[in-house]
Amino acid sequence: GAVVSQHPSRVICKSGTSVKIECRSLDFQATTMFWYRQFPKKSLMLMATSNEGSKATYEQGVEKDKFLINHASLTLSTLTVTSAHPEDSSFYICSARGRASKNTGELFFGEGSRLTVL
């Protein structure tokens, strides 16, 4: 099956710094990628939809200047948490949909990245 890889899997940073998380589709071209945030014991919260070559579409309540998303190629999307604060500490997960998923609706998920802001 299709593989989506996230890096780093864990990151600890100081308050005020910026952190970049990468999401790569390893063996397929991802026309659309999604970024989620997962709080402890809560569901996945969709943050934004990222389409290759265009600006990301953010969900209501998600600050686009805080969470910068770039989808520069068909295999890579990045999420940058700018000027991170402790409340940004969370588990961030990406998923990708490729051309092959068009008829199946299946999303392929990364393994997630745990961000801890001190």
- Contact positions vs another protein (CB under 8 A): 4, 32, 34, 41-44, 46, 49, 93, 95, 97, 101, 104-107, 109-112
CB burial of residue 102 (10 Å; 0-12, 13-18, 19+):
exposed
Nearest CA among 49, 47, 3, 57 for reference residue 29: 3
Q: Provide the minimum distance between the beta carbon of 16 and another protein in the complex, in angstroms, as a whole number.
A: 31
Residue (57 or 82) nearer to another protein, CB = 57
Distance between CA atoms of 85 and 71, rounded to whole angstroms?
24
Q: Provide the minimum distance between the beta carbon of 52 and another protein in the complex, in angstroms, as a whole number.
A: 13
Residue (75 or 113) nearer to another protein, CB = 113
